[in-house]
Amino acid sequence: KSTLVHDVLYRALEQRLRGEHSAKRHLGERVGAFSGLEGHEALDDVVLIDQAPIGRSARSNPVTYVKAFDEVRRIFADTPAARQRGLSAGAFSFNVAGGRCDNCEGAGHLEIEMVFMADVFVPCDDCGGKRYKSEVLDVRVRGKNIHEVLQLTVDEAIRFFPREERLGHALWQLQQVGLGYLRLGQPAPTLSGGEAQRIKIARELAVAGRTRGRKLYILDEPTTGLHLEDIRKLARVLDRLVEQGNTLVLIEHNLDVIKLADWVIDLGPEAGSGGGEIVAVGRPEDVAKVERSHTGQWLRTVLGGGDRGLPGIINTERRAEAVR
């Protein structure tokens, strides 16, 4: 599945479209062999949403990735205290000189190089791990400074900024993919692969809300490790992407998600060297009738009652394609 979708479909489309928003790391790499590519004329872009980290540095975090940190900094820069001190929005960034701590350069910690052991990180003596100069930390919004705001969870931040529409829109996307518990400034290296993937989905939703897209989104097992309630939320989110004019291709094993697809491509019949064949193609009901398909056999168990949606979801239309 991954070979077909990543090495052939994604890379071939990426080469053909060279889309503006897609990840570019595959450009120039070898594309898997295929006989023909049709339908790309109807697409403007292809986007791979996988479980790769959103950043390797502790400076990357959820609020910067979904482009919400600009709004947070603007809110602080608009306060009377910031104007009085001559602090612009740039002063509230820990990535550029100005308002960040000069000693740790906004990292919040110092790295001590060890000769025979792994390097050790200790809190910065000057800022106490808060990343900013004292004059920046003295600026407060509703009693909290920029460091304290970055310690808020997404859920808490939505309640804390009830009248900030643009910021609320970006944070709401994170909440809708089940990430309301993450701290705004949580370092990217501490996020799991599944969390990173859902943050990427949230960013695409924030962008897609401003434009009507003709994008092809490729998602690699987006339900891995999710609780049923989070799968429900994710299903609603994926529906929104399709309603905005986009197409989804999912590599998925979860039957409750597969049964929502418009079209299923079942690869097998076994895993590894025992697979690689197209065993069944069609609507979920069609695949369920194929005796040779292991996926089809299990689909019968979830389609038997006629309810094609996850519990708690009203499905008016199946709007995705699943590769099983």
Q: Are 316 and 255 part of one and the same domain?
A: yes
Whether 169 and 207 map to the same domain: the answer is no
Which of 125, 144, 176 terminates a domain? The answer is 176
Q: Say whether both 197 and 309 belong to one domain.
A: yes
> CATH number of the domain that 212 lies in?
3.40.50.300
pTM of the model: 0.80
Domain's final residue, options 176, 207, 235: 176
Report yes or no on 169 lying in a domain. Answer: yes
pLDDT score at 316: 37
Q: What is the pLDDT of residue 313?
A: 41
Ranges of residues in the chain whose predicted pLDDT is under 50: 20-24, 26-27, 306-307, 311-319
State which residues form the domain around 170.
Answer: 62-176
| pLDDT computed for residue 308 by the predictor | 52
Same domain, yes or no: 162 and 248 = no
Give the chain's domain count. Answer: 2
Which of 176, 208, 235 is the C-terminal boundary of a domain?
Answer: 176
Same structural domain, 211 and 169? no
Residues 139, 214, single domain; the answer is no
Residues 248, 253, 259: CA angle, nearest 5 degrees? 65
Instruction: Say what the pLDDT of residue 21 is.
Output: 46
Q: Residue 314 has what pLDDT?
A: 36
Residues making up the chain, counted from first to last: 324
Helical spans, DSSP H, in the chain = 2, 11-17, 62-65, 69-77, 80-85, 134-137, 146-150, 154-160, 165-176, 193-208, 228-243, 255-258, 284-287, 294-303
Does 48 lie in the same domain as 100? no
What pLDDT, on the 0 to 100 scale, is given for residue 317?
44
3-state secondary structure of 90: helix
